[in-house]
Structure 1
Amino acid sequence: MPKLTQSQVKGFEEDGFVFPVDALTQDRAAELRDTVLTHLADCHRQGGARAALAFGPKVHLMAEWAHRLVRRPELLEIAESMLGPDILVWGTQIFVKEPGGKTDLAWHQDALTYDLDSEGRLAAFRVWLALTPTSVENGTLRFAAATHRDGIRTHRRTPGLRGMMRGDEAAFDEHDFVRHDVVLRPGQCSLHNMLVVHGSGLNRTKDTRVAFAIDYLAPSVRPSGGEDSALLVQGRDAYGHFVLEQPPSDDLGDEAMARCGDAVGMRMARLQAAEAERKKSGALVHG
């Protein structure tokens, strides 16, 4: 099973990210790609909350396949290499970039909007798992090395600029940093610090790009400004900072959707309050 080397952990500490990390076989990644696309089609067909929450932020509470994925031994070994034996999952998201070059993602920091207080440098990180090949041509992730060292930057909200999916754009000169494009085969992943500045490009190919993201946390992480929830996937939670989530008993069932909706509502209420505070402080401005 994959386990990060000391060199990989050191690279993460220095640059704010590491890739490629082998996680799943290409055959397993292809199966998951088909499962993800079927999940999205089912959610769209059923509509309502299922359609609204299909891409995340807590797919692991909607569907058994996603819950099984975040607990896969290969991924838990990676998480344990970073966090230690006690591991929470805070969020899961599906990223689909359709062909034709219609959407890109501004340079930004996840930490701006996640409002998670970490005790230690390796208390929280994101796994970005490729389920199809990723390349510069299909708009893969790009990281600006070592940008996690300077804390949270001011971001400018510019809705619709260059077709961005998200308009929170970090204030920094990308020419001052080394850019790394995340080229992966299916089944490989990148790991990144939630403070590192990153974005993605346009998909200029004829093929759909599919990835699945998992936010792994140490239980020492504390949500700022209100109550939040997370799923304990290994070890124990000796802190109690999060309401512990219950796994789904089926895919898209009424009980699973009710729990997912409650968890997402709790999270969004906290994050909306935190965003209001950022606007007051000037950390987020409108362009």
Structure 2
Amino acid sequence: MTPQQTIFSLSADELAQFHRDGYIGPFDLYSPDEMERNLRALRPKLLNTKTSIYAEEQAISGSTNLANYDRHLDVDFLAEHITRPEIVDRVASILGPDVLCWRSEFFPKYPGDEGTDWHQADNFSNVAGSKHPQIVWPEDADFGGTITVWTAFTEASIDMGCLQFIPGSHKTMNYDESKSMTYDADAINKVDKNGVRRGFFGYDYRQLQKDPNWSPDETKAVSQVMRQGQFVIFWSTLMHASHPHSGKSSNMRLGYAGRYLPTSVRVYPYSDELEEFGGKARLDKFGNVLVAGQDSFGHNRFADATRSGRPFEPRQTGARA
């Protein structure tokens, strides 16, 4: 760390708020004009999935969902994004100085698209065909799940399908990820839940409920409206959802989520492929990205650079205890 380095760690009050509510933000990262310029330059690269680490599997399975995964490993702007100090410092103040990014995903919502149903994720085996946990915390860990940093690459209003949170709900898991969900692509945009169109990308997340008669208390829900270029941080175990895209705007809502863990957590320890949302992908080209500190465990695979050669350089966020 150099004296000139700007530190973006959460304050003590912000950390207390985060641990109480399970989320914090939004924070400014890009101005709307800057984000729009970046998005214009980014779109052609996203459409060209040949450089994606899952390109071959996408062609075989016909799945377009996996094309949204881990593009930070082949698109330099996204590689820079997940390592931005404005993000990494805040995440490290929650997780500790040694942090990796294990996944990133795009979440597009087009005019008329359904909302995303209420859900929580602890070990991410919920949509895995193998039913193996995708992340495994140490047995003595106080936490589970992952830290998600969701950035609004476009405006995220209620009409365009912004996120919703139920504050404090990260302390109790209402879903059993060892249960199975049935994938049905024909159900997308066709499920009505209490007068709201909500689905889960071809799954019905209610199939994982521990109590089939339970339902989330939506009276406590908060709508996370964000301007273009802002980001919000939340535990994946927080009850979260999104509104439908009303179609009042002809613009797509686009979110980009980076998922972060301390290096003590094992990533894909039992799997050599992904099987999600109707597609399969081998993990032989996958690698975590060390975004802060160092890895002293040696149980995870890391990528040193993007496929174009841009190096990943971890940020040093502070001294260790």
- The residue aligned with 1:7 is 13
Specify whether residues 120 and 112 from structure 1 end up closer, same or farther in structure 2 by C-alpha distance, changes over 3 A only.
closer
Cα distance in structure 2, aligned partners of 1:91 and 1:166: 21
For residue 169 of structure 1, the aligned residue among 205, 208, 213 is 205
1:157 shift after superposition: 3.5
Report whether the alignment pairs 1:141 with 2:153: no
1:224 shift after superposition: 6.6
Letter in 1 for 2:94: M
For residue 65 of structure 1, the aligned residue among 77, 80, 84 is 77
Report whether the alignment pairs 1:54 with 2:67: yes
Letter in 2 for 1:235: G
Report whether the alignment pairs 1:79 with 2:91: yes
SS at 1:54 equivalent: helix
Cα RMSD, aligned residues only: 2.9
1:83 shift after superposition: 1.9
Report whether the alignment pairs 1:180 with 2:203: no
Identity rate of aligned residues, in percent? Answer: 25
1:189 shift after superposition: 1.0
SS at 2:48 equivalent: helix
Report whether the alignment pairs 1:39 with 2:45: yes
- The residue aligned with 1:264 is none
Q: Does the CA-based 8 Å contact 2:97-2:293 persist in structure 1? A: yes
Cα distance in structure 1, aligned partners of 2:18 and 2:204: 24
Q: In proportion to residue count, which structure has more helix?
A: 1
SS at 2:147 equivalent: strand
Deviates more, 1:238-247 or 1:23-32: 23-32
- The residue aligned with 1:126 is 148
For residue 265 of structure 2, the aligned residue among 198, 221, 225 is 221
- The residue aligned with 2:181 is 157
Letter in 2 for 1:208: M
Residues 217-253 of structure 1 deviation map (CA, whole Å, 9 limit, x = unaligned): 11111247515741112210112231112322429xx
Specify whether residues 65 and 92 from structure 1 end up closer, same or farther in structure 2 by C-alpha distance, changes over 3 A only.
same
Specify whether residues 173 and 39 from structure 1 end up closer, same or farther in structure 2 by C-alpha distance, changes over 3 A only.
same
Residues 143-179 of structure 1 deviation map (CA, whole Å, 9 limit, x = unaligned): 1222211135237736415273242424342227610
SS at 1:39 equivalent: helix
- The residue aligned with 1:102 is 113
Q: Extract unaligned runs of 5+ from structure 2.
A: 1-5, 126-132, 192-197, 273-286, 310-321
For residue 239 of structure 1, the aligned residue among 297, 316, 320 is 297
For residue 136 of structure 2, the aligned residue among 117, 132, 135 is 117
Specify whether residues 37 and 135 from structure 1 end up closer, same or farther in structure 2 by C-alpha distance, changes over 3 A only.
same
Residues 93-115 of structure 1 deviation map (CA, whole Å, 9 limit, x = unaligned): 1111111x133211111225253
Q: Does the CA-based 8 Å contact 1:227-1:242 persist in structure 2? A: no
- The residue aligned with 1:282 is none
* Greater radius of gyration (CA): 2
Letter in 2 for 1:80: A
Q: Does the CA-based 8 Å contact 2:107-2:254 persist in structure 1? A: yes
Cα distance in structure 1, aligned partners of 2:10 and 2:252: 29
For residue 288 of structure 2, the aligned residue among 230, 240, 256 is 230
